[in-house]
Copies of this chain bind each other. A is one copy, B any other.
Amino acid sequence: MIRGSAMAATIKDVARLAGVSQSSVCRALAKPEQVRPETRERVERAARDLGYYPNRAARGLITGRTANIGVVLPDLANPFFPSVVKAIQTQARLFDYAVFLSDTDEDPAVETSLIRALAKQVDGFLLCSPRAGDEELRACDRELQTPIVVLNRRVSPFPSVTADSADGMRQAVGHLHALGHRRIAYVAGPRTSWSNRDRLRGLRSATSSYDMDLIEAGNVAPTVDGGAAVADLVAASPATAVIAYNDLVALGLLNRFRAREIAVPGRISVVGFDDILLAGLVTPALTTVAIAKEQIGRAGVELLLDLLGGRSPVNKRTPTQLIVRASTGPVPQ
């Protein structure tokens, strides 16, 4: 490769212009106190004049630290994830980490192959709601030796951040019970989703402790269309209220119910999960279990940094909070 004037400046260029050695440039920039003020200034001037920024990849090669973190998630089109990613970004930047982002399109195979491909370019991974099996993830880990933190799922032995769905479900069911509902339907999300299983588990425990009937529908894709697809099934069931796997599914239900002129909450109450922006803006506004998305992202980065710093992080569980809006009401007589 021929170095033309067009190439970006390297440490050599700075050294030459400042009239010192590479080592001194490196020190002047990284540990200013170890170098004579005069030298430091010369280096700083030269660096500024050349617009020098160190090549982080080259640095990573020798330090073993890339200052990148990898974020893998199933579907950026689900508004839940951008919120989490945004929080991750913000927190990562605080510690001068950059973010590699990968969308797997809900495909477990893509997921593991992406992890493998990215592994050497990042110091660690934040896997958001990974769809691959526990054993596959462990295999990746053994093979790659890249620290992994899992969000929205618990997979031993990885540190993880999860929402307290059980408590969220308890709140939701308590709310519906107070309104007089005794038969609830649940529209299940993807079979591969740990959150789905977790939410269902919490829901079962809540309904049984309230001695209510639970009717399970699904599984559906975690999208508006997924919800619309089972709306008629739900309507035909004896349920007077329905809890959806997430807000998108709930919105699908709402849409289809409106199209069929099934009154919400007059004839059936609808509860979502996640509290995405949409939930508060539709009519009727959606009652939903809010998840601390920002907190999950932030905590994920913290756990990963702990891991990287040699500390052993503990799993974190973030609170959930029922947000009551217009889509739930008293059971129809």
> Which residues of chain A in 45-87 are interfacial with respect to chain B, using CB atoms and an 8 Å cutoff?
51, 53-58, 60-61, 64, 66, 68, 71, 75-77, 79, 81-83, 85-86
Contact status of A76 and B86, CB under 8 A, knowing A57-B57, A101-B99, A277-B224: yes
User: Which of A112-120, A208-216, A232-240 forms part of the interface with chain B?
Assistant: A112-120
> Which residues of chain A in 1-45 are interfacial with respect to chain B, using CB atoms and an 8 Å cutoff?
1, 6-8
Contact B281 A56 (CB under 8 A): no
Q: Indicate whether A100 reaches chain B with its CB closer than 8 angstroms.
A: yes
Which one of B6, B61, B145 lies within 8 Å of A61 (CB-CB)?
A: B61
Output the residue of A1, A6, A89 with the most chain B CB within 10 A.
A89
Contact A8 B120 (CB under 8 A): yes
Contact status of A53 and B98, CB under 8 A, knowing A82-B79, A145-B8, A281-B224: no
* Chain A: interface residue total (CB-CB under 8 A): 54
User: Which residues of B sit under 8 angstroms from A258, Cβ to Cβ?
Assistant: 283
One complex includes copies of this chain to the number of 2
User: Which residues of B sit under 8 angstroms from A295, Cβ to Cβ?
Assistant: none
Which residue of B has the minimal Cβ distance to A4? B145
Output the residue of A54, A101, A282 with the most chain B CB within 10 A.
A101
Q: Indicate whether A261 reaches chain B with its CB closer than 8 angstroms.
A: no
User: Which residues of B sit under 8 angstroms from A1, Cβ to Cβ?
Assistant: 64
Contact A277 B278 (CB under 8 A): yes
Contact status of A51 and B86, CB under 8 A, knowing A61-B61, A64-B1: no
The 6 closest A-B pairs by CB, nearest first: A283-B283, A57-B57, A51-B143, A101-B101, A55-B120, A76-B86
Partner-B contacts on A (CB < 8 A): 1, 6-8, 51, 53-58, 60-61, 64, 66, 68, 71, 75-77, 79, 81-83, 85-86, 89-90, 98-103, 105, 116-121, 143-146, 224, 251, 255, 258, 277-278, 281-283
Q: A85-B103, A98-B117 are in contact. List 16 more A-B contacts (CB 8 A).
A: A51-B143, A57-B58, A57-B60, A57-B120, A68-B121, A76-B85, A77-B277, A79-B79, A89-B103, A98-B100, A98-B102, A224-B277, A255-B281, A277-B278, A281-B281, A282-B282
